[in-house]
């Protein structure tokens, strides 16, 4: 039975001289791994539409068990290609698709996340402020995937966190802030500030143009996301090193 859906190309791996194994994040069916026979040919059913970060319309045949789905056709909707002057946007886009690939599972529809990914890729490629838009997407992904941290209450005892404190413990394993009484024995802890918590909540509640935070808060937020996401996926994402080299990281 044929299925058709919009998708973003997350990953491609050569399968043979002419074919590819592609990982797609679809709007209607979640993550899909499929064999694209002839996908490496310039001319064919896929119209050269299987580039990374491309938004495409695909037709495929689902398979049962561990077998790869069979991709039969793809049509390009938009190829997210930044200008040479927006190199940072391209790096951020590659990080975005790596993150989506690592933090989603196959056959779990997440249409809201798909829409967020497309909107954020558009902002990044169109030259909008890179890091605020990217971090807003990361917090939104964490929320939709059920991993958004607790910032108002201690994750151990549920007591309310006093934001008058200047230093607040954040437990990466525990998934949120920890009060002073529960902090003893808590591993993998970062120290954050009330100002950072407010900036995170503001960024997650509004689009980046309405959120206000300084370069210091941005750096602290980036560091927190790096550590927390690395813990969640069990490794350091490949694109972290490239994000650190982005010339327009503070845009």
- Full residue range of the structural domain in which residue 56 is found: 3-78
The answer to whether residue 179 is domain-embedded is no
Query: In the predicted model, what is the mean pLDDT of the chain?
Result: 88
The answer to whether residue 166 is domain-embedded is no
The answer to whether residue 154 is domain-embedded is no
The answer to whether residue 210 is domain-embedded is yes
Which of 116-130, 139-153, 208-222, 229-243 has the lowest average pLDDT? 208-222
> Mean pLDDT, to the nearest integer, of 145-167?
91
Judge if 39 and 19 occupy the same domain. Answer: yes
Kindly report the CATH number assigned to the domain that includes residue 217.
1.20.1440.120
The answer to whether residue 104 is domain-embedded is yes
Of 78, 107, 135, the position where a domain reaches its end is 78
Whole-model pTM: value is 0.90
Of 78, 105, 124, the position where a domain reaches its end is 78
Question: Which of the given ranges, 116-125, 180-189, 203-212, has the highest pLDDT on average?
Answer: 116-125
Domain count, the chain: 2
Judge if 137 and 192 occupy the same domain. Answer: yes
Judge if 73 and 93 occupy the same domain. Answer: no
Residue 211 has pLDDT above 80, yes or no: no
Judge if 74 and 91 occupy the same domain. Answer: no
Of 78, 97, 125, the position where a domain reaches its end is 78
Residue 209 has pLDDT above 70, yes or no: no
The angle at the Cα of 31, spanning 26 to 37, to the nearest 5 degrees, equals 85
Confidence of residue 196 (pLDDT cuts 50, 70, 90): very high
Judge if 73 and 110 occupy the same domain. Answer: no
Question: Where do runs of H (alpha helix) occur along the chain?
Answer: 87-103, 111-125, 130-144, 180-183, 194-205, 215-233, 240-244
């Amino acid at each position: 039975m044929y299925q058709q859906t919009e998708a973003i190309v997350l990953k491609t791996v050569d399968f043979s001289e002419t074919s590819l194994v592609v990982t797609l994040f679809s709007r209607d069916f979640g993550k899909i791994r499929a064999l694209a026979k002839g996908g490496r040919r310039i001319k064919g059913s896929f119209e050269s539409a299987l580039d990374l970060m491309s938004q495409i319309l695909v037709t495929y045949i689902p398979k049962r068990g561990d077998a790869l789905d069979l991709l039969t056709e793809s049509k390009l909707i938009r190829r997210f290609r930044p200008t040479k002057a927006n190199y940072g946007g391209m790096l951020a886009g590659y990080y975005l698709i790596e993150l989506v690939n690592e933090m989603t599972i196959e056959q779990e529809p997440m249409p809201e996340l798909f829409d967020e990914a497309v909107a954020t890729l558009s902002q990044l490629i169109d030259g909008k402020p890179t890091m605020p838009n990217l971090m807003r997407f990361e917090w939104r992904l964490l929320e939709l995937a059920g991993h958004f941290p607790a910032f108002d209450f201690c994750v151990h005892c549920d007591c309310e966190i006093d934001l008058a404190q200047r230093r607040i413990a954040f437990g990466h394993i525990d998934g949120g802030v920890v009060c002073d009484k529960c902090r003893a024995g808590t591993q993998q802890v970062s120290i954050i500030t009330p100002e950072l918590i407010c900036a995170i909540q503001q960024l997650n509640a509004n689009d980046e143009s309405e959120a206000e935070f300084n370069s210091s808060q941005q750096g602290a937020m980036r560091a927190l996301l790096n550590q927390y996401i690395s813990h969640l996926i069990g490794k350091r994402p490949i694109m972290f090193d490239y994000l650190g080299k982005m010339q327009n990281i503070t845009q």
